[in-house]
Amino acid sequence: MAKETKVRKRADIGERTIARMKAGRNGIVEATYRMDVVEFRVFFTMLTMISPDDVTFCEYELRVADIIRLFSLSRDGRSYETIKEAAERLVNKTMVIYHTKEDGNRYRTVIPFLTSASSQIGDAKMESIRVTFHPELKPFLLQLRTEYLEFDVRNLARVQSQYSIRLYMMLRHQMNLKKTSVRYTVERLREVFEIGDKDYPLYGNFKQKVLVRACTDLSTTTNIRVDKMEEERSNRKVVAVVFHMSSQELPLVLPDGEGITTSVSTPVATSNKKSNKVVVEIDDPATDSLVDELHPLVAQYVGREAVRTWLHQSSEEQVRTAIDYTLKQLKQGATIKNVGGYLQRMVSMSIPLSFDEPVPPVTKTNRPTDVQSNVQKEQQALENARLEALTEKKYQAAIQVLSDHPEWHETVAEHMQSGLFGKFYKEKLSLLENIRNPAMYGPLFQAVERLKADVFTDID
């Protein structure tokens, strides 16, 4: 039996990174509750400090440095405050489980997560916070022998959504049971994620904003890959979802264009009242169709894969406009030495394109002398290089802010989906995938600067 202590630090338990909790319908894994990403990190860090032999809880001291190291975060001036605020919010968080008691009746039981969160005051250097589990959590966290989830919390270091974390826990438990697929009703998923009828009332919105994003997040940032989602329909209504998953190595980078698409195959026709099934595949047949349509227009300048890459990087509308504009320039007599490169520039421009807006210059037949042209080209090349370097610095600074503040992700995503640039935001992709599109740099920088006014101060 582990030695009982009043206060436990991570140094007392070693570099443990494994979390364990009761699973199943009556466990924490599928209970009804919400936590944001930072709250989950505090909670998971506490779980790693529990010994399998513990019979009671103690007070756990969480150091900022431990959480930063555990989840590969970057330290900033607000690290302590962010963790302290998350811990204090957890004191007011509860989970709900529905279970049958000894009298044979079903009950709805509400259980708090924490009883207290203590932080230092005064002149002491604030580097740690003390937290205590609620005693009612003992059956869910201590002396677990059967039906429990065990996982390495470092697998969730790059997950950016609370729903992704919840889905990871559910699928990881099923995979630990040697399953490669699991079925949940839509009603059950809403219940677990604590998403009521007023939040994403239409299944289409629930699917895109929650399910597809979570699946993409897991596939691109964790050791679980969701190979496909299978929708079960009854009377044309989606009533259940089957997740097909497999293990993978932790992705080092986000693969270009990878993720679960929103396109679906035609439902299988049935002659009885059994549910139809619709498969949401990772490979998007709609993209192949668009490539078939658009590539012949520019086949003499670029290959099929270039067009496919454009459709992954930018919206369909942006690609169409870029192609139409370039072809119009050629038809009007403009001389473009590298049409393929020009097309790439048009597709990647960070402003919405229309025929009435200024675009990068092309060389006209009535150009100035060669000397003047070369000087202008050199000056333009230097200016382009300067702007590209400046944009890259701002982009890296914005990425760092998003990494340090996952609680801001939803706010940034909402801003990027609004206004003039909203049409370039692809709902089927995660926030991290969307911000890789140069068309989204402008609203990204604006959203981040609103949240952290000095983020670009030192960038020249």
Q: Tell me: the pLDDT tens digits for 314-340?
A: 667 778 888 888 888 888 777 887 888
Q: Answer yes or no: do 277 and 185 share one domain.
A: yes
Does any domain span residue 426? yes
Q: Quick one: pLDDT band at residue 16, thresholds 50, 70, 90?
A: confident
Q: Answer yes or no: do 272 and 204 share one domain.
A: yes
Q: β-strands 224-234, 181-185: how paired?
A: unpaired
Q: Answer yes or no: do 3 and 100 share one domain.
A: yes
Three-state DSSP state, 178 = coil
Residues with Cβ within 8 Å of 352's Cβ and at least 6 positions away in sequence, in order, are: 318, 420, 421, 423, 424, 439
What was the pLDDT predicted at 375? 64
What CA–CA distance (Å, rounded) separates 294 from 154?
43
Q: Which of 283, 305, 335 is the last residue of a domain?
A: 283
What was the pLDDT predicted at 265? 31
Does any domain span residue 233? yes
- As a whole number, the mean pLDDT across the chain is 80
Please check the confidence at residue 241 and state whether its pLDDT lies above 70. Answer: yes
Q: Answer yes or no: do 164 and 132 share one domain.
A: no
Does any domain span residue 95? yes
Please check the confidence at residue 417 and state whether its pLDDT lies above 70. Answer: yes
In eight-state DSSP terms, residue 211 is I
What was the pLDDT predicted at 317? 74
What is the pLDDT averaged over residues 304-319? 73
- Which pairs with CB-CB distance under 8 Å and at least 24 residues apart come from 21-24? 21/47, 21/140, 21/141, 21/144, 21/148, 21/149, 22/139, 22/140, 22/141, 22/144, 22/147, 22/148, 22/149, 23/147, 23/148, 23/149, 23/173, 24/147
Q: Which of 283, 304, 332 is the last residue of a domain?
A: 283
Q: Which of 344, 367, 390 is the last residue of a domain?
A: 367
Please check the confidence at residue 426 and state whether its pLDDT lies above 70. Answer: yes
What global pTM score does this model have? 0.60
Q: Answer yes or no: do 72 and 201 share one domain.
A: no
What percentage of residues in the chain have a pLDDT greater than 70? 79
Backbone angles phi, psi at 249, to 5 degrees: -70, 150
Selected residue with higher pLDDT from 130 and 11: 130
What is the pLDDT averaged over residues 200-212? 87
Give the Cβ contact number of residue 77 at 10 Å: 8
As a residue count, the chain comes to: 460
pLDDT tens readout for residues 350-382: 444 444 444 555 554 444 555 556 666 666 666
Does any domain span residue 152? no
Q: Answer yes or no: do 23 and 125 share one domain.
A: yes
> How deeply is 219 buried, as exposed, middle or buried, from its count of CB atoms within 10 A (0-12, 13-18, 19+)?
buried
Q: Answer yes or no: do 45 and 76 share one domain.
A: yes
Q: Which tokens sit at 295?
A: 């590539």
- 185 touches 239 (CB < 8 A): yes
pLDDT tens readout for residues 89-105: 999 999 999 888 888 88
Q: Quick one: pLDDT band at residue 268, thresholds 50, 70, 90?
A: very low
What was the pLDDT predicted at 77? 73
What was the pLDDT predicted at 360? 55
For residue 170, the domain's CATH number is: 1.10.10.10
User: Of 250, 287, 21, 300, whose CA–CA distance to 141 is shortest?
Assistant: 21
Q: Which tokens sit at 231?
A: 């929708």
What was the pLDDT predicted at 354? 45
Three-state DSSP state, 9 = strand
Q: Answer yes or no: do 136 and 184 share one domain.
A: no
Does any domain span residue 153? no
Q: Quick one: pLDDT band at residue 313, thresholds 50, 70, 90?
A: low
Does any domain span residue 406? yes
Q: Which tokens sit at 431?
A: 């926030």
pLDDT tens readout for residues 151-189: 999 999 988 889 999 999 999 999 999 999 999 999 999
Does any domain span residue 354? yes
Please check the confidence at residue 258 and state whether its pLDDT lies above 90. Answer: no
Give the Cβ contact number of residue 76 at 10 Å: 15
Q: Answer yes or no: do 142 and 6 share one domain.
A: yes
Please check the confidence at residue 270 and state whether its pLDDT lies above 80. Answer: no
Q: In what order do the strands lie in the sheet with 224-234?
A: 181-185, 237-247, 224-234, 276-281
Q: Answer yes or no: do 321 and 332 share one domain.
A: yes
Range of 460's domain? Answer: 375-460
What was the pLDDT predicted at 316? 73
Q: How many CA atoms lie within 13 A of 265 on its CB side?
A: 16
What was the pLDDT predicted at 283? 40
pLDDT tens readout for residues 23-65: 988 899 999 999 999 999 999 999 999 998 899 999 999 998 8
pLDDT tens readout for residues 70-93: 898 877 777 888 899 999 999 999
What total number of domains does the chain contain?
4
Q: How many CA atoms lie within 13 A of 197 on its CB side?
A: 0
Q: Quick one: pLDDT band at residue 419, thresholds 50, 70, 90?
A: low
Q: Answer yes or no: do 135 and 165 share one domain.
A: no
Q: Answer yes or no: do 436 and 299 share one domain.
A: no
